[in-house]
Amino acid sequence: MRIAVLGTGPVGQAVAAGLAGLGHQVTVGTRDVEATMARTEPDMFGNPPFRQWRQQHPGIGAGTLADAAAGAELVVNATNGTGSVAALEAAGEENLAGKVLIDIANLLDFSRGMPPSLLVSDTDSLAEQIQRRFPAARVVKTLNTVNAYLMVDPGQLAGGDHTVFVCGDDAAAKAQVTGLLRSFGWSDVIDLGDITTARGPEMYVSLWLRIYGLGSPMFNIKVIR
């Protein structure tokens, strides 16, 4: 499948590489291709610049947000949550219409130091904000509850015996995303319901950050029932 991954940070890189590894035709979208490719410094977390990653993944395309989205059958929002709506506007409402839009971003405020705090409260979610702004996109919230490396390779932890969630208004879109998640190795995919249920996985990130604070990001929760 032709997939656009919007965002060139560690999450975008991991998801793009994971999708390409499954045989998908992946294009990474960035606001300013030239500026992104010109960067030679590591990011604020010490991750290598996109240019270097690109050289290691020659099969993955790169283009503007709009070019990537226009050519894709499915779009992944892996941009920084605080810039997601603007990035999707730059991708173009017409390039998202009718398409499955996987939202894996979190709305975090790093301005008060670590851990960051959530910029949404429990009466809204980033996924809902995106669905409201792009009503013709078929938004599915998923994967925002785990580290980028686990997103595309859950088997790295306990053989994949842990849980991921999907939330969205479009049942067919959720079924397609669930298939994609299973192809990554996710065995326990819980459909929480409509797009408003994305508040749950988004609020959970507050707990994720505290557990992460104890040591490694290579953990997840399993819903025992």
Q: Which residues form the interface with a copy of itself (CB under 8 A)?
A: 112, 117-118, 121-123, 157-158, 161-163, 165, 190, 192-193, 197, 199-211, 213-216, 218-225
Please name the residue that has the structure tokens 């060139």.
8
Nearer Cβ to a copy of itself (99/162): 162
The Cα 38–Cα 60 span in angstroms is 17
Nearer Cβ to a copy of itself (3/143): 143
Closest separation in Å from C-beta 38 to a copy of itself: 36
Nearer Cβ to a copy of itself (40/123): 123
Of 200, 54, 222, 182, nearest to 122 (Cα)? 200
Q: Residue 213: how many CB atoms within 10 A of its CB? A: 9
Nearer Cβ to a copy of itself (95/220): 220
Return the DSSP state at 198: G
Closest separation in Å from C-beta 5 to a copy of itself: 26
Instruction: Return the structure tokens found at 96.
Output: 């998202």
Instruction: Return the structure tokens found at 116.
Output: 């960051």
Closest separation in Å from C-beta 178 to a copy of itself: 15
* Planar angle of CA 78, 83, 88, nearest 5 degrees: 65
Closest separation in Å from C-beta 111 to a copy of itself: 11
Nearer Cβ to a copy of itself (173/195): 195
Residue 193: beta bridge partners? 167
Closest separation in Å from C-beta 151 to a copy of itself: 15
